[in-house]
Structure 1
Amino acid sequence: MLKTLALFFLTALMEILGCFLPYIWLRQNGSVWLLVLGAAALCAFVYLLSLHPTASGRVYAAYGGVYVISALLWLQWVDKIALQWNDWLGAGVILTGVLLIVVPWQN
Structure 2
Amino acid sequence: MFDLKTLALFLVTAVAEIVGCYLPYLWLKHGKSAWLLLPAALSLALFAWLLTLHPTASGRVYAAYGGVYVFTALGWLWLVDGIRPTSWDLIGGLVALAGMAIIMFAPRQA
Query: What is residue 34 of structure 1 aligned with on the other side?
Result: 36
- The question of whether the paired residues in 2 share the 8 Å contact of 1:54 and 1:105 is answered with no
Query: What is residue 105 of structure 2 aligned with on the other side?
Result: 103
Query: What is residue 88 of structure 1 aligned with on the other side?
Result: 90
Query: What is residue 51 of structure 1 aligned with on the other side?
Result: 53
Query: What is residue 70 of structure 1 aligned with on the other side?
Result: 72
Q: Which amino acid aligns with 1:7?
A: L
Stretches of 4+ aligned residues off by more than 4 angstroms: none
Query: What is residue 16 of structure 1 aligned with on the other side?
Result: 18
Q: Percent identity?
A: 54
- Tell me the C-alpha RMSD between the 2 structures: 1.8
Distance 1:84 1:30 in 2: 29
Q: Which amino acid aligns with 2:19?
A: L
TM-score normalised according to structure 1 size: 0.92
Residues 5-27 of structure 1: CA deviation (Å, up to 9, x unaligned) = 11111101011111110111122
Q: Which runs of 5+ in 2 are unaligned?
A: none
Q: Which amino acid aligns with 1:11?
A: T
Distance 2:32 2:96 in 1: 35
TM-score normalised according to structure 2 size: 0.89
Q: Which runs of 5+ in 1 are unaligned?
A: none
